[in-house]
Amino acid sequence: MAAPQQGDVGLLDDAAARDLLVSTVPAHLAYAWTDDTPRNTPIWFHWDGRAVVMCSPSNAPKVKPLKGHLSP
């Protein structure tokens, strides 16, 4: 059996990943600002057993540069 590749949900079967998914430690979201400088911000998340759900106020600064990179 081949090892899971980047983006494969099979990576979430790792013990360290499972521990992080149920922890109260916020995730860190890395992205590029509108001028392409790197940014990293803590963000709360919820693991529903199938997907990692991240939410943010619609007027948060990070929303503008992320809008063009997210699926509808």
CA distance 69 to 65: 8
Q: Where are the domains of the chain?
A: 9-67
14, with CB counted inside 10 A (0-12, 13-18, 19+), is: exposed
The pLDDT score that the predictor gives to residue 69 is 63
Positive or negative torsion for Cα 18, 22, 24, 27:
positive
The pLDDT score that the predictor gives to residue 55 is 83
CA distance 20 to 31: 20
Greatest mean pLDDT among 3-12, 28-37, 49-58 lies in: 28-37
Which residue from 26, 12, 21, 27 is spatially nearest to 47, judged by alpha carbons? 21
Task: Please give the model's pTM, rounded to 2 decimal places.
Answer: 0.62
